[in-house]
Chain A
Amino acid sequence: MTRPIAVVAFAQLPNVRRDTAREETELVQPVINEALEQAKLTRRDIGFTCSGSSDFLLGRPFSFVSALDALAPWPPMSESHVEMDGAWALYEAWVRLQCGDVDTALVYAYGKSSLGNLRDVLAQQLDPYYLAPLVPDSVSLAALQARALLDAGGCSEADMAAVAARSRRDAASNPFAQVKKSRAASQLLDDPYLVAPLRKHDCPPISDGACAVVLAAARSGGERQVVITGIDHRVEPHALGVRDLTRSVSTRRAAEHAGLFRGKVDIAELHAPFTHQELLLLRELSLSDDVKVNPSGGALAANPMMVAGLTRIGEAATRLARGEGKRAIAHATSGPCLQQNLVCVLEVT
């Protein structure tokens, strides 16, 4: 039995294509301040802090060290960092809270995807001996996966266009979304391929952004709160040739361990940067048609690297807190073709 942990605050920056004015400290500070304000806590009330970011996006080592200044960590604080999406920082914080000796945690993530050529940067994630020298960029790898899914009859190009149209339509009501306009799905199919079978609308935007979440041990006494009832993450082999790209067995496994299938879900915030990946994940998670999928617009509306996964948890929790549902799944992914996946189940108690 795990200790119930509540998501008590979530703040994010409006996502933009290129934030030229702000460096990491300046990206992170407003969301940390806002999240702490929402939680009615000060920095000194926080028992543990964990962040997620990537040096390769910033193009220099130790970028998280500068970001730390946003916290004014004085007196010194108990703090850690993962070179991963912030969703995994939240996992580390959740584990730390399970130890029972601290009751509150601050989690934040930031990413400036705009500084380099993102497709080339992400190619540096690949096996440095056998794969990276071929420089298969991130969109081409996703296209490979989309082709496999289409060939297996897992979806059609029209299904993919429908995901794109719905996501961007929903994003219109999300003040933080970057891409909010879409034509009808049928019109989208007239566009040329970007990397076949992916068209531009099948791909995420390149985004700069930051977000922060505050976690706290759930209060007893029947107070309404959004609680993490299960969280788990799994990885798959890196070598694409040994994976079935039409499946996401790691997502399924994480969902089982997080207890997703123990009950009905109202909202799903899935970190699916490419349209076919949403369709693939929906099937893997056995989500029925009445589940509200990516009401925020998801990663297709804004995809700040290292942030978009944590944003899914924040978005799902915020919607539950607003009364839009009772139970939600938030999902985060990392690596080429959904290599690594995290599933977080949230419930209103």
Chain B
Amino acid sequence: MEHCAVVGIGQTQHRARREDVSLAGLLREAAERALQDAELRFQDIDAVVIGTAPDMFEGVMMPELYLSDALGAAGKAITRVHTAGSVGGSTALVASHLIHARIHGTVLALAFEKQSESNAMWALSPVIPFQPQLTAGAGGYFAPLVRAYMRRADAPRHIGHLVAVKDRLNGVKNPYSHLKLPDIDLAKVEASPMLWDPIRQLDTCPSSDGAVAMVLTDARGGAHSPHRPAWVHGGAMRSEPVMFSGRDQVNPRAGIDCAKDVYAQAGITDARKELDVAEIYVPFSWFEPMWLENLGMCAKGDGWKLTEAGVTALDGDLPINPSGGVLCTNPIGASGMLRFAEAALQVRGMAGDHQVDGARRALGHAYGGGSQFFSMWIVGSDKP
């Protein structure tokens, strides 16, 4: 397989409503920043891969058809990926396959969501024949899983709040972050309204408008990169069914298998020790300890202990979500690619104020559906 390098990364200012730009304008903002970082132009791009969550979120069917003009795709290949919440990660992986397979030399990967165009709660609550209606959006779906985790791991109630505070303080250091809550503390999270027990308002992610873009290229392109590239050391996707009797949604097997696959590709045997930083998809604060266990970074039942001990803080020995993560910025379709891109920024040493000192190997993680779709990559400073 050809080597794949990330040589350009761009993201928008994320806000609740980006009424100053159209859908195309939002994507251009991210794409132009990524191209600028790579010191390339639209003409240098061979193909475009674009991902977003359900088309209902913006009310445009297959928006890549309309967006192809703004993305300079005319005459080129454009592919639209949709794998639920993991889509941002999957989009990056589909783009990386075009490089690995030597189909194209340089690919622009983008992901976006303009949540203000629609109402995600509505779009996430369809009536499906023979299935219970999910009337409370994602929070209503995931809260019972959090309660199950707390019971299984015997986790104290404040753990989620610790994550909520940590990620928001990290987000203050990230200039693109949607939420900026420098005064947040445990008491404020505990006092925020209860939405879906045990998830309080400050334990949840915001609804954001935003986009992210990455320029992926081959070994030759990586060698000519004006800034240090991030090299792809491994990538994997896994899917499992929504429901069947006995399915463990708290610690889903698709996540375990996906992590094992990506670690094996990167030659990692001890993720906790060998990874310097991870950007993982945490839309509700409790998912940090839950995913730490699912990702094999600690023993089952110990995830919350890592969080409580400060291991996952920016200055801890395994910083999780130094960018502020999904809890600060959630343009749904882009949230996964933001994790992948932030992981790449870390190993490029270009994360600014939220840079983890000496980060050389990082995990990007995304999940979607009812904790059933996973995509992950590992990127490193060194060419594999």
Contact = CB atoms under 8 A, between A and B. Distances in A.
Nearest to B244: A74
A128 B55 contact: no
A80 B94 contact: yes
A54 B65 contact: no
B62 A62 contact: no
Contact of A95 (B56, B97, B239, B240): B97
A301 interface: no
A207 interface: no
A121 B239 CA distance: 29
A61 B239 contact: no
A343 to B, nearest CB: 11
B66 A23 contact: no
A80 B83 contact: yes
Nearest to A49: B239
Interface residues of A, number: 61
A181 B59 CA distance: 38
A99 B54 CA distance: 28
A62 B54 contact: yes
B201 interface: no
Interface in B24-66: 53-63, 65-66
Nearest to B239: A79
B333 to A, nearest CB: 11
Contacts of A81: 81-83
Of A55, A76, A92, A238, the most chain B CB neighbours within 10 A belong to A76
A110 interface: no
Contact of B75 (A61, A96, A253): A253
A44 to B, nearest CB: 13
Given A23-B129, A68-B239, A82 B61 contact: no
B240 A76 contact: yes
B153 interface: no
Contacts of A83: 55, 62, 80-82
Interface in B65-100: 65-69, 73-84, 90, 93-94, 97-98, 100
B69 A238 contact: yes
A234 B74 CA distance: 8
A96 B102 CA distance: 11
B29 to A, nearest CB: 17
A81 B52 CA distance: 12
A69 interface: yes
Contact of A76 (B63, B77, B257): B257
B76 A235 contact: yes
Interface in B344-371: 369
B101 A98 contact: yes
Contacts of B252: 76
B74 A236 contact: yes
B335 to A, nearest CB: 16
Interface string A77-118: 111111110001001100110111100000000000000000
B54 A61 contact: yes
Interface stretch (A11-19, A141-149, A308-316, A332-340): A332-340
A32 to B, nearest CB: 14
B1 interface: yes
Contacts of B127: 60
B136 interface: no
Contacts of B123: 61
A125 B62 contact: yes
B61 A125 contact: yes
A82 B238 contact: no
B175 interface: no
Given A77-B239, A101-B1, A235-B68, A55 B90 contact: no
A98 B99 CA distance: 10
A269 to B, nearest CB: 21
A76 B239 contact: yes
A72 interface: yes
A56 interface: yes
**Which residue, of A2, A100, A124, has the highest number of chain B Cβ atoms within 10 A?**
A124
Given A61-B126, A121-B61, A124-B60, A80 B77 contact: no
A251 B290 CA distance: 48
B148 interface: no
A122 interface: yes
Contacts of A77: 238-240
A64 interface: yes
B236 A125 contact: no
B124 interface: yes
Given A78-B239, A82-B79, A121-B61, 14 more contacts: A55-B55, A55-B82, A60-B56, A60-B128, A73-B240, A76-B239, A77-B240, A79-B238, A80-B81, A95-B101, A125-B66, A128-B59, A128-B60, A235-B78
19 contacts: A55-B56, A56-B62, A62-B54, A68-B242, A69-B242, A76-B258, A80-B93, A81-B82, A83-B80, A125-B60, A125-B65, A126-B66, A128-B23, A128-B58, A128-B66, A232-B77, A234-B75, A334-B62, A340-B65
